[in-house]
Amino acid sequence: MRGKLTLSYAGFVTLTGALLLAVVWLFLLRYVPDGPINTRGPFVPNRSDLVDAFLPRASVAMGCLLLGGLLGGWVLAGRMLAPLTRITAATRLAATGSLSHRIRLPGPQDEFRELADVFDSMLGRLEAQVAEQQRFAANASHELRTPLAITQAMLEVARTDPDRDVEVLVERLHAVNARAIALTEALLLLSRTDGKPVEREPLDLSLVAEEAVELLLPLAERRGITIEASGELAATTGSRSLLLQLTTNLVHNAIVHNLPGRGTVWVTVARYAQSAVLTVANTGEVLDPRRLSTLTEPFQRGSERVRDDAAAGVGLGLAIVSSITRAHGGTLTLDARVDGGMSASVHLPAAAA
């Protein structure tokens, strides 16, 4: 590219010089007579005399223009392409797996500066995503290793103790295996919905919320939790199965992280001009507002006391909710209630009723 630009600069300068000489010939020398001029007085050069004196010097000038165009074009092209060289070096470095490097190109806000800033922004997003994937893989490995280790320990005990109650062992193995299956299914669901487009169909968000409440009502009754559901027709578009999973996760989370025997869950659906809003609030322990932002990360739980609860899930409920919300072009808002518990609001784009 530098060679092409150099030849372009030199060719342009040389062509400009040639055009200037052509103008001199067309509009000056052609009007000078070629024969003897003023033979009786002082010597007056004719056209041939002027051409003989002009051509050698014009040739030297053209050579200087060509040489100057080449040298100047090489220097100018190098200076203009220097930012591109830095960007190329950063790209090669990123191709080796190093994502912490940034170009940080100085200078005016031109096309190269814009390209470098976009590249730096892309590297930042890639670095954050890779770090998040590594953290997620580590957490998933840890969570999956726990039920497998428990299963192995139970089998070792059963092998060394032939008199052990088989029914109790089978029941415990069934519970551990069910938890491992639930974790695997949650991981698969999270991977399928994270940042991927979904098939959309028109639906009423209030009917989805009603179905989720009916599905989890037996769990709430066993725990002594009261569910209060209300809402209005809230038309939106999206995947019914995924939005049902979203609502179920929110209601399930509100039931489990609650006050056993005296807690309440409020499920409301409202329609606004541009959005359909699902809000699930619950009573419970007082939460630190600074911790709310971490609850949508995988394997984060709002309360440590439910970690060993069989119905508490695997710590992916809100992470799946956040992923499904993003896939539908919506936003998820978590707020800590003053009296304890949490309020989760999902804002989805509204559709024609």
* Stretch among 51-55, 205-209, 211-215 having the lowest mean pLDDT: 51-55
Say whether both 186 and 212 belong to one domain.
no
In the chain, how many domains are there? 3
State both tokens at 115.
């390209």
Q: Determine the pLDDT at residue 278.
A: 95
* 223 in a structural domain: yes
121 assigned to some structural domain:
no
Q: Do 25 and 89 fall within a single domain?
A: yes
Do residues 7 and 69 share a domain? yes
- Answer whether residue 308 shows pLDDT above 60: no
Structure tokens at 324: 């499904």
Q: Which two tokens stand for residue 24?
A: 């001199």
Q: Are residues 238 and 325 in the same domain?
A: yes
Q: Check pLDDT > 80 for residue 110.
A: yes
Find the DSSP H helices in the chain: 2-27, 47-95, 111-160, 166-193, 205-223, 240-256, 317-327
- Co-location of 337 and 210 in the same domain: yes
- Mean pLDDT of the 291-312 span: 61
Q: Domain of 297: which CATH number?
A: 3.30.565.10
Domain end among 193, 222, 243: 193
Per residue in 182-195, pLDDT tens?
Answer: 777 767 766 666 65
Within-domain flag for 106: no
User: Which residue did the predictor score with more confidence, 54 or 342?
Assistant: 342
Helix axes 166-193, 317-327, angle to 10 degrees: 30
User: Which pTM value belongs to this model?
Assistant: 0.57
98-105 own/partner pairs: CB under 8 Å, 24+ apart: 99/123, 99/126, 99/127, 99/130, 100/127
Indicate whether 93 pLDDT > 60. yes
Q: Does residue 229 contact residue 213 with C-beta atoms inside 8 Å?
A: yes
Residue 119, in any domain of the structure: no
- Domain span holding position 41: 2-98
109 assigned to some structural domain: no
Rounded to whole angstroms, the Cα distance separating 229 from 49 reads 107
Both 38 and 150 in one domain: the answer is no
Write out pLDDT tens, residues 195-209.
Answer: 566 778 899 999 999
Q: Are residues 20 and 69 in the same domain?
A: yes
Q: Is residue 56 part of a domain?
A: yes
60-69, 90-99, 207-216, 294-303: least confidently modelled range: 294-303
Helix axes 317-327, 240-256, angle to 10 degrees: 150
- State how far the Cα of 335 lies from the Cα of 303, in Å rounded to an integer: 15
Q: Look at 108-117, 153-162, 227-236, 320-329 and tell me which has the smallest mean pLDDT.
A: 153-162
Residue 160's domain is classified under what CATH number? 1.10.287
**pLDDT tens digit sequence for 256-290:** 889 988 899 999 999 998 899 999 999 988 888 77
Q: Of 66-70, 207-211, 321-325, give the range with the top mean pLDDT.
A: 207-211
